[in-house]
Amino acid sequence: MRVCVVARLSNIMAEYLKVNPDYQDRVKELFENDTKPEITLEFEIEEHDFINSGKGSAELKLTIKRLGVDPAIMRRIAIAAYEAEINIAAHSRGGAMRSNIFPDYVHIVFKDMGPGIDDLEQAMTPGFSTAIDLVREMGFGAGLGLPNIERNADIMKLDSEKNKSTQLDVIVFFQ
């Protein structure tokens, strides 16, 4: 899978984009898609709420299962979504996930209320983590969440800056 960086502001990357080459030609269309999804699911994620975080991903997985999506693909969707949900709970002031399910793919948008990511390249590095002890004690903070999302997504777009909200887009095709 190829990684391409589409935007660089001074030395700081403002957007990190990873695209499975099979879908390279569709990226623009996918992000400009204004057709109505078949199903939309929405979940709020609160800061440090490790009781409810993950419910959104579990619900998304169940919904996709009912559509008859291949178990291996279902698993990739669940893992990417779960890591992203946990990141909102662990590292942000809270946010939401919205899953738009289309006939042949799912597009999940995670948006939080900041504080944003200083250095995207560093955040994407396996092993890098700023997780606090509370988060580490729960088994998170290995610095493998974003790399895990990248591995499981066909398209991943991470958009953030220091003192801004973070938006993560994850797209996975059903075929």
State the residues that interact with another protein by CB under 8 A. Answer: 50-51, 53-55, 57-58, 61, 72, 75, 78-79, 82-83, 86, 137-140, 142-145, 148, 151
Interaction of residue 141 with ligand ADP, rule CB under 6 A: yes
Interaction of residue 85 with ligand ADP, rule CB under 6 A: no
Tokens 């979504």, residue?
A: 81
Tokens 């609160």, residue?
A: 46
- Report how many residues bind ligand ADP under the rule CB under 6 A: 22
Interaction of residue 142 with ligand ADP, rule CB under 6 A: yes
Interaction of residue 117 with ligand ADP, rule CB under 6 A: yes
Q: Say if CB 67 and CB 153 are below 8 A apart.
A: no
Interaction of residue 145 with Mg ion, rule CB under 5 A: yes
Nearest to 168 by CA among 67, 102, 105, 92: 92
Q: How far apart are CA 56 and CA 40, in angstroms?
A: 12
Torsion 41-31-106-145 (CA) sign? negative
Instruction: Output the residue with the shortest Cβ distance to ligand ADP.
Output: 145
Q: Please report, as ranges, the residues that interact with Mg ion according to CB under 5 A.
A: 87, 145
